[in-house]
Amino acid sequence: MSDPLRIVVVGNGMVGQKLLEELAERRPSGLDITVLCEEPRPAYDRVQLSSFFSGKTAEDLSLVPPGFFERDGLVLRLNAKAVAIDRSLKQVTTSTGETLPYDKLVLATGSYPFVPPVPGRERPDCFVYRTIEDLEAMTEAGGRSKVGVVVGGGLLGLEAAKALKDMGLETHVVEFAPRLMAVQVDDGGGRVLRQKIEALGVTVHTQKNTVEIVDGEARRHAMRFADDSVLETDMIVFSAGIRPRDELARASELGVGPRGGIVIDNHCRTLDDDIYAIGECALWDGKIYGLVAPGYEMARVCAAHIAAAVPQEDADEPPQFTGADMSTKLKLMGVDVASLGDAHAATPGARVCVYTDERKQVYKKLVVSEDGKYVLGGVLIGDAEAYGTLLQMMLNRMELPPEPEFLILPSGDGAARPALGVDALPDAAQICSCNNVSKATICAAVRDGAHSIGKLKTATKAGTSCGGCVPLTTQLMKAEMKRCGLSVNNHLCEHFPYSRQELYHLIRVGRIETFDELITRHGRGRGCDICKPAAASIFASCWNEFVLKKDKAALQDSNDYFLANIQKDGTYSIVPRIAGGEITPEKLIVLGEVAKKHRLYTKITGGQRIDLFGAQVHQLPLIWKELVDAGFESGHAYGKALRTVKSCVGSTWCRYGMLDSVSMALAIENRYKGLRAPHKIKSAVSGCTRECAEAQSKDFGVIATEKGWNLYVCGNGGMKPRHAELLAGDLDDETLIRYIDRFLMFYIRTADRLQRTSVWRDNLEGGLDYLKDVVVHDKLGIGAELEAEMAQVVGSYACEWKKAIESPEVLRRFRSFVNSDAPDSNVVFVDERNQIRPATPEEKARFKGVPVIAESA
């Protein structure tokens, strides 16, 4: 048996990790791979780095699947820096002095942030924006700062500006060029982009040359510019571009370009056939590619070439890297920005169509060939909906319609819209450039059973990196399913050929108020345990009638039927509402007296409620009568409804508090209490970014800043915890409530049955960007309608338990047996820690025939 091929990979960034995944996928036998990672953690998503400031953790950003480095023949060394290459001995030396032999060496060293040689650049609280450690240091400084400046107005600079904005700082961007994103957009696009960025509260300074950084008078730093102007700030982030990490190659004479970068050929080999370079450190045909998709393509080529060095049967000729399309679509600070192909119309004979609406802050530019038949490039600012169509037409050299300008003009002028159907795309069309997934691959996966976006991502990896291809991937999936004769539906159950969303609209538009009318008009049969509770929930969301009204009670599940959560021993829990966690001493005493009188187990929960356990069904009305008389209301712990709005003490008591979080939590909980939804809803309000109320783990959470409230949505705890995402920032009270109204009602309208907000958000084809368009920008024009529907629900609220105890008909159902008022003798408790708990089966056998409250042995 021959010795294994020794591979050393220097760097475990996004591209280095992609190389390892490609090698693992090819599974050539006889590889011994050692990975040197300079950072203290393995590969993470640098494209989404700014999401660290809106709640994502290092673990959330990780690109390494669990157990990936546990496979044989693969070793990862963290905090391991390569300092030298000996090409003659074929070995790499690390910073600890260790030498590692190699047969093939891959340099995936990436790039480093360029910091202009400005005097004062090394002062405290001056940062670069590259690693998680950089972000952690920025977070610490941001906590004691009020003003932040980003030096650099390119892609990375605007990402860094978003990070400062998310920290609640007064944010400035300083750019040397006359416009933002000078490489990607032209003057017209740059002007509109600046307007949109400034409208978000970021001050932009263009044509500014920083000459020195000194002590400020009001702030820590003063930036002096060549035009004698001065800008004072507390912290500075340099994000003025990148430079390739090519120092190892320079020292070992591998060949670098005049402006840096390790020279490679079409197989990603350097001047040494046994050494490869991939990603931002590599120079191909005089070009450094600063996007992740070309780096991933280099990783695929490199992996194939290395795999070809291991003898294999039926091995294909390894592919070559022949350049990459630099088109990109991004969301910068919530602003759609897209650039494709020849954005500056540099091609001889190129013709340009431009649409500008500075009122709506939209700029679109289409570059076509001299004969007007083909797309050469384009720029889209503020509305990038046409990006997918234009990109596919450009990449696949598809002929333009006779009037191509209508591809970028807004709809509404009566002209027919030329459209690109997915059927028109060739099988070789690259749908996901990050992971090199073609239309043919996606369609094949659909034919093999990938009939959801989640399954399709798993099968093909399409949409798993930047996510920009998800809408087109979804269209392809549905089209292929129809082509295969599969029905594309999400019917609620066998009794209703509609989704929950469609059923909601039928009930709302038809003003249907009973299940009998609903199934007569739109269903068949008698209904089931799926459609009845779903319909009951929709009725409650739309009309907010008492859920135990005669025609509604039979639709409810067991918890809603008894307005309480049934527990493991057949007893029920009592959960009164304690809005915002605030309770008076008098009410606290009432809870204690009720619990003591009825011998109930008492527990303070993580949602700032007090739960009373151990009530038998016949006791529920008696207990609730005492609680309602004391001013308590139902906490809806039994319903798919708003549960709690947790809060910290906020500015009222806390020295760090920015705003009165308790008052806001009370306002929110009292507004939405009783709101029925597809699933339970939890919320929280934190008085500052220290986040004591854990707002970013809730379905919607609110965090105070110096300028208002930040609204986060679609998070949850539970089995699959998920951080919420920032929907809108620095909101006043009125705007915050308006956005929450829209968000909740849109969720109630469109979510599937029993679907949490996080899963619902994942299934929205446009994701968070689409949600922002609907809620914040009112793109669908339904904002006022959603607010009116919420106002109807809020205005018709009534405590369900108060109505229950006032109705003799309802009270008759609260007994353990239909033919007797006797309690359930099978319920047995024992004492433990001065409270009761359900007896175990062994204890029940021992205490058989004794009173319900038994003394434990």
Go through the domains of the chain in sequence order and give each one's CATH number. 5-112+244-308 (3.50.50.60), 126-240 (3.50.50.60), 500-561 (no CATH), 641-798 (3.30.413.10), 825-857 (no CATH)
pLDDT tens digits for 104-134?
A: 999 999 999 999 999 999 999 999 988 889 9
Lowest-confidence segment of 390-399, 525-534, 843-852 by average pLDDT: 843-852
Tokens of 560: 């809603």
Indicate the pLDDT class of residue 1, thresholds 50, 70 and 90. Answer: very low
DSSP state of 409: S
In this predicted structure, what is the pLDDT of residue 414? 38
Instruction: Please check if 484 is assigned to a binding site.
Output: no
pLDDT at 856 over 50: no
Scanning the structure block, which residue is given the tokens 């860094």? Answer: 160
Q: Is 742 helix (H, G, I), strand (E, B) or coil?
A: helix
Average pLDDT over residues 141-159: 92
| Nearest partner of 27 among 75, 64, 71, judged by Cα | 71
Scanning the structure block, which residue is given the tokens 């009292």? Answer: 670
Scanning the structure block, which residue is given the tokens 């619902």? Answer: 760
| Nearest partner of 688 among 710, 670, 672, judged by Cα | 710
Instruction: Please check if 648 is assigned to a binding site.
Output: yes
H or E stretch covering 805:
helix 800-805
Tell me phi and psi for residue 55, to 5 degrees.
120, -20
Instruction: Please check if 542 is assigned to a binding site.
Output: no
Q: Is the dihedral of CA 158, 160, 166, 170 positive or negative?
A: negative
| Nearest partner of 201 among 321, 333, 373, judged by Cα | 333
pLDDT at 531 over 70: yes
Tokens of 248: 């190892």
pLDDT tens digits for 738-748?
A: 999 999 999 99
pLDDT at 142 over 60: yes
Which pTM was predicted? 0.60
Average pLDDT over residues 499-528: 91
Task: Quickly count: other Cβ atoms within 10 Å of residue 502's Cβ.
Answer: 16
DSSP state of 217: S
In this predicted structure, what is the pLDDT of residue 429? 85
Give the DSSP letter string of 525-550: SS--TTHHHHHHHHHHHHH---TTSH
The sheet carrying 335-341 orders its strands as 328-332, 335-341, 375-381, 362-368, 351-357
| Rounded Cα gap, residues 552 and 518, in angstroms | 13
| Nearest partner of 638 among 680, 684, 578, judged by Cα | 680
H or E stretch covering 623:
helix 620-629
Q: Long-range contact list for 617-622, CB < 8 A, 24+ apart?
A: 617/562, 617/572, 617/814, 617/815, 617/816, 617/824, 618/814, 618/815, 618/816, 618/821, 618/823, 620/562, 620/563, 620/564, 620/572, 620/574, 620/814, 621/804, 621/805, 621/811, 621/814, 622/598
pLDDT tens digits for 543-595?
A: 999 999 988 988 988 888 889 988 877 888 999 999 989 999 999 999 999 99
Instruction: Please check if 688 is assigned to a binding site.
Output: yes
DSSP state of 848: T
DSSP-assigned beta bridge partners for residue 596 = none
- Beta strands in 42-181, from DSSP E residues, in sequence order: 74-77, 82-86, 91-94, 99-101, 104-107, 111-113, 126-128, 147-151, 170-174
Give the DSSP letter string of 289-331: --SHHHHHHHHHHHHHHHHHTS--TTPPPPP--------EEEE
At a CB cut-off of 8 Å and minimum separation 6, what does 743 contact?
700, 711, 713, 727, 771, 775
In this predicted structure, what is the pLDDT of residue 454? 75
**What whole-number percentage of the chain has pLDDT above 70?**
94
Indicate the pLDDT class of residue 413, thresholds 50, 70 and 90. Answer: very low
Indicate the pLDDT class of residue 733, thresholds 50, 70 and 90. Answer: very high
In this predicted structure, what is the pLDDT of residue 320? 92
H or E stretch covering 644:
strand 642-647
Q: Which has the higher per-residue pLDDT, 436 or 254?
A: 254
Alpha-carbon Rg for the chain, nearest whole angstrom, is 31
Q: Which amino acid is at 207?
A: Q
The sheet carrying 74-77 orders its strands as 74-77, 31-36, 5-10, 104-107, 275-277
Average pLDDT over residues 146-168: 90
In this predicted structure, what is the pLDDT of residue 317? 74
pLDDT at 3 over 90: no
pLDDT tens digits for 334-377?
A: 688 888 999 889 999 999 999 998 888 889 999 999 999 999 99
The sheet carrying 700-705 orders its strands as 642-647, 681-686, 700-705, 708-713, 725-731
DSSP-assigned beta bridge partners for residue 725 = 713
What average pLDDT does the chain have? 88
